[in-house]
Structure 1
Amino acid sequence: MKLYESSVKNPVGTSLIFIGIVLIGILFYRQLPIDLYPEMDLNIISVMTTYSGAGADDVEANVTRPLEDALNSTENLKELTSQSRDGMSLIILQFDYGVPIDNIMNDVRDKIEMIYSFLPEGTEKPIIMKFSSDMIPVMTLSATAKESSDALYKILDDQVANPLNRIPGVGTVSVTGAPQREIQVNIIPEKLEGYNLSLEQVAQVIAAENTNIPAGNFDIGSQTYMLRLEGEFDDSRELNNIIVGNSQGHAIYLRDVAVVKDTVENRVQENYTNGQRSASIVVQKQSGANTVAIAQAVKEQIPLLQKNLPPDIKIETVMDTSDHIIASINSLLETIILALIIVGLVVLFFLGRWRATIIIMLAIPISLIGSFIYLYLTGSSLNIIS
């Protein structure tokens, strides 16, 4: 009661307090991250492992099962499911809610490190990912091309993905659906057999030649320089001159037993936009970043990037999460305005006093603006739930 009495007896002080709440609330609102959903971890971890050239049965027996045996002992594991396909193993781990997912990630990573050396040769390092609301893309762009389709991946990666990655708040920009460059070494079996060479020998030589090797350091005065022997090929034609063996004192070059072809990969699945083959550019944000601000920055960059692309490449927006967020905010504003009008009319009708009506109508937006202070101080975001 004393609080109410002091507020009524000191109208100036009370007014200043509410004005302060409004000003601070507006200030914090401008700094609040805006997102579609609140930030949350789903306590689900995926482990994806690639074993190129192996069938589904081989992947199941030699990759999936050893990984399952190692991961089954992870603490707080609720459910483990796996899929084995040609050349790929996917394991989904679901954990109890409330456990620290980052600690579990470290535990999963340690177990995979221990088992990795026992996996078949040629198995790539397992990719570990945790599922969270941050994985929802901010935007998905589509790029179509005609003459430049074979080089589309490199063009998009260099001239679109890299500039977009530099936008503040952007986490990753990935290009999918575009055929990537592929250097094919097509072995001629008859010639390989004639020189008494094996496929494994040729593969080992190519891998050894196409490698950069650190060669130590050397000092000049107070400066230390790192030496590196560059062995990676810049031109696919250089592969033809690799010596893969010897026959009667003569060197056997790769061109003697194989045909090197600089081409693009054959894709099993293709992306299409409006009936045209296309590639997708997926923009994801960093944790806690402002989705609306990032989407706006990406939209501003697209016309600038389009000018530097070949004329046959066209970029358009397929999905924009910020549209849903802005629509939700606009809907909220419309609801608040409607509520103010209805409350004002009802109070005015029953009380018949303008002063009381204005005070009650002001209480609604002040309470809403005050909630921005709470969201900011607790590190929460402004989303469709909050």
Structure 2
Amino acid sequence: MKPYETAVKNPVGTALIFIGVVLIGIMFYRQLPIDLYPKIDINIVSVMTSYSGAGAEDVEANVTRPLEDVLNSTEKLKEITSQSKDGMSMIMLEFEFGTDMDEVMNDVRDKVDMIAGFLPDGTEDPMILKFSSDMIPVVVLSATAQESAGALYKILDEQVANPLNRIPGIGTVSVSGAPEREVQVNVAPQKLEAYNLSLEQIAQVIATENVNVPAGNFDIGSQTYMLRLEGQFKNSRELNDIIVGNSQGKPIYLRDVATVSDTLESRVQENYTNGVRSASIVVQKQSGANTVSIANAVREQLPELEKTLPPDIKLVTVMDSSEYVKVSINSLLETILLALLIVGIIVLFFLGRWRATIIIMVTIPISLIGSFIYLYLTGNTINIISLSALSITIGMVVDDAIVVLENITSHIERGSRPRQAAVYGTEEVS
């Protein structure tokens, strides 16, 4: 017995099946992650290494080439390209389609760790990035300040980024564009030469002095106490009293050969919002997290966070990717309602049967709700691509339903009973 014959002969069971599909579809819809785009893993890995103060040629010879030599042996590597700039090395690794990028990341990380110890002093640890749709920011905030500009980075990091990081589903919250505090030691070359000192000596002395040293422990009764010699500087003025050498039996202090200034770092790139210098706070989600829920949680927490900030710091939402998803969902709902209205009028006008009209109008939402079951079971998300596909399928569902229903109606008009007409009409079309 064919499926449509079984459905016609058991109307109660068929109705229960469709009711079950609707209930399960609604339940799965509530559990489906909502995102801007479907999860897409791009087969590209980037290795970025910072080498401050080095020219492009030095970066190429001492950082980029050693890394390239090691990474060239990575399995399933399709192409490797590199770019060396002043103070920065960037290597792009493209892999064959279908490669397991998690395994690739582990392989690349192992190779980079193997060569990292041989890179020049002053080179920061290489940063390895895997490109995917999860890297798209969920929310981007902009912060402007007047009096608090000097401490803006620290304030945003501690009072905005850290609380937002505690929201379930958030992967990373990064602060950029805000100048950080920087203690600059400006050395006079003539004085260095006069005292027979070098920049390397000055840097080594400062690094050696600016540490806390463990000094053992001692016992008092049943209690053991740890000893520590605090050597880290409390403020920039203490740097002036460091002894960096001696001349004719007299100590040479840092203030004798350099000036110390507590200032803000100089930046090559600066952020501006509406013509005002600002900092950016980028919120990214974890893989599979709900974009709309995270964006809503961030918006709900912003008023509380603003209360903890100095009065001159203002937060503005620059980008909210959940708005695009909401627009797509609203567009789908409008499409469904418009389709129901137009199809209902056309079917009622041409077929002249209100029952046929109801059947067509019920077909559309049941089909769409049933599709949520498929999305859930296959691990997909509700995104602008899947919503666009559902909008297109509405027309296909309506076309098929109208053709079948019109054929059934023609059999009824010829004198067939409704159940027989349903079987004959469906069989002829299928």
Moved more, 223-232 or 342-351: 223-232
Distance 1:215 1:344 in 2: 85
Sort the Cα spacing of 1:101 and 1:362 in 2 relative to 1 into closer, same or farther, 3 A.
Answer: same
Q: Which residue matches 1:105?
A: 105
Tell me which protein shows more helix as a share of its residues: 2
**Identical aligned pairs, as a percentage?**
77
Q: Which residue matches 2:425?
A: none
Q: Which residue matches 2:255?
A: 255
1:371 aligned onto 2:371: yes
Deviations 1:31-77 (A, max 9, x none): 11100100111011111111111111211222112222222222222
Distance apart, 1:164 and its partner CA: 1.2
Q: Which residue matches 1:352?
A: 352
Sort the Cα spacing of 1:17 and 1:147 in 2 relative to 1 into closer, same or farther, 3 A.
Answer: same
Distance apart, 1:224 and its partner CA: 9.9
Distance 1:208 1:115 in 2: 26
Q: Which residue matches 2:92?
A: 92
Q: Which residue matches 2:235?
A: 235
Distance apart, 1:238 and its partner CA: 2.9
Distance 1:344 1:51 in 2: 68
Sort the Cα spacing of 1:112 and 1:221 in 2 relative to 1 into closer, same or farther, 3 A.
Answer: farther
Distance apart, 1:249 and its partner CA: 4.9
Moved more, 203-212 or 327-336: 203-212
Distance apart, 1:211 and its partner CA: 3.4
Deviations 1:180-235 (A, max 9, x none): 11111122334333443321122112222333556789999999998876544342
Q: Which residue matches 2:10?
A: 10
Moved more, 310-319 or 218-227: 218-227
Sort the Cα spacing of 1:216 and 1:64 in 2 relative to 1 into closer, same or farther, 3 A.
Answer: farther
Distance apart, 1:286 and its partner CA: 0.7
Deviations 1:342-378 (A, max 9, x none): 2222332333222232122212111111111221222
Q: Which residue matches 2:281?
A: 281
Q: Which residue matches 2:168?
A: 168
1:334 aligned onto 2:334: yes
Sort the Cα spacing of 1:159 and 1:375 in 2 relative to 1 into closer, same or farther, 3 A.
Answer: same
Distance 1:297 1:189 in 2: 55
Distance apart, 1:250 and its partner CA: 4.6
Distance 1:353 1:220 in 2: 97
Letter of the 1:329 partner, please give it.
I
Deviations 1:70-117 (A, max 9, x none): 222222222222111111111111111100011111111122222223
Distance 2:169 2:89 in 1: 32
SS in structure 1 opposite 2:192? helix
For structure 1, the residue ranges without an aligned partner over 5 or more in a row are none
Letter of the 1:287 partner, please give it.
S
Letter of the 1:297 partner, please give it.
A
Distance apart, 1:305 and its partner CA: 1.5
Distance 2:336 2:345 in 1: 14
Letter of the 2:137 partner, please give it.
P
Q: Which residue matches 1:42?
A: 42
Letter of the 1:166 partner, please give it.
R
Moved more, 4-13 or 211-220: 211-220
Q: Which residue matches 2:411?
A: none
TM-score for the superposition, normalised by structure 2? 0.83
Aligned residues: 386
Sort the Cα spacing of 1:214 and 1:295 in 2 relative to 1 into closer, same or farther, 3 A.
Answer: farther
Distance apart, 1:333 and its partner CA: 0.9
Moved more, 320-329 or 158-167: 158-167
Distance apart, 1:302 and its partner CA: 1.6
1:77 aligned onto 2:77: yes
Q: Which residue matches 1:65?
A: 65
Distance 1:226 1:49 in 2: 38
Q: Which residue matches 1:52?
A: 52
Sort the Cα spacing of 1:159 and 1:361 in 2 relative to 1 into closer, same or farther, 3 A.
Answer: same
TM-score for the superposition, normalised by structure 1? 0.92
For structure 2, the residue ranges without an aligned partner over 5 or more in a row are 387-430
Structure number with greater CO (CA < 8 Å, separation at least 6) is: 1
Q: Which residue matches 1:154?
A: 154
Letter of the 1:154 partner, please give it.
K
Bigger radius of gyration among the two? 2
Letter of the 1:170 partner, please give it.
I
Distance 1:295 1:222 in 2: 53
